[in-house]
Amino acid sequence: MEKLSINKLKWIRTLHTKKSRDFEGCYIAEGEKMFHECLRENGSSILLIVCTSEHVDTVIQHTKYNALLASGNEFERISLLKSPQGILVILKKTPQEEKSFNPAISTLVIDTIQDPGNLGTIIRTADWFGIQQIYCSATTVDCYHPRVVQATMGSLFRIKIAYGNLSDFLMQQTLPIYGAMLEGTSCIELKIKKNAILIIGNEGSGISEEISQLIQNPITIPKLGNGESLNASIACGILLSHWKKS
């Protein structure tokens, strides 16, 4: 197996930034689980595999892919994880367009989620509950951010995700629009339509005022204790649970 060169190491490090990911048209997925998810769900998009000696036996089983061997120190330099797992994959981006969305099926809409871990968990949770498409505001964190990719645990490869102007997107929709709000009908009492649009807002400020005016059915999670607020990804999971069992 060929060794990782300095130039290739520097190039991989550039993919830590959105500007370079957009320019190069590719992104990073880390860890052995993500490696196997890539092979199963997204093999045609694999451009390069990098691993340490501990993972050589795993990687060489897939000789049709270009693979490079890195030392432990080299791998730490290209990894964004606190505890690098010794294997990563560079994949070709497959950006989705709004026009490819199915207007007749349920859509999760994200309004300015900024924490990569939150967005990644939301994508993973949406996949669990059978959501097939997610539309994000242009101000939402990049779904190809390495921490987002890692948090999705492979769900990124199964869900159609697009970015754009939320107002324009929502005004074109015919399905009922629900939004997670502090003031609204309890999710315990309100039965969400089988095919609908559910909006999740920013971690700190919630759904923007402009988007709030397009919501037909405000929905809230009843507060039973003294907590100040819910994490956005947890709130999303609770609402998806109530939606899909109603």
3-state SS, residue 154: coil
Nearest-5° Cα angle at 236, 142 to 182:
110
User: Looking at per-residue confidence, does 99 or 121 come out higher?
Assistant: 121
Reported as a pLDDT band with limits 50, 70 and 90, residue 129 is: very high
How far is it, in rounded angstroms, from Cα 149 to Cα 140? 14
3-state SS, residue 105: coil
Q: Which domains does the chain have, with CATH numbers?
A: 2-92 (3.30.1330.30), 98-245 (3.40.1280.10)
Residue 97 has pLDDT above 80, yes or no: no
Q: What is the mean pLDDT of residues 131-158?
A: 96
Q: What is the mean pLDDT of residues 179-205?
A: 94
pLDDT, residue 185, reads 94
pLDDT tens column, 50-78? 999 999 999 988 768 899 999 999 999 99
How far is it, in rounded angstroms, from Cα 206 to Cα 221? 13
What are the tokens at 183?
Answer: 């003031």
pLDDT, residue 243, reads 93
pLDDT, residue 227, reads 81
pLDDT, residue 34, reads 94
Reported as a pLDDT band with limits 50, 70 and 90, residue 246 is: low
| Phi and psi angles of residue 149, each rounded to the nearest 5 degrees, phi first | -55, -45
Reported as a pLDDT band with limits 50, 70 and 90, residue 10 is: very high
φ/ψ region of 194 (left if φ > 0, alpha if ψ in -120 to 50, else beta) reads alpha
pLDDT tens column, 204-241? 899 999 999 999 999 999 988 988 788 999 999 999 99
pLDDT, residue 144, reads 96
Residue 190 has pLDDT above 80, yes or no: yes
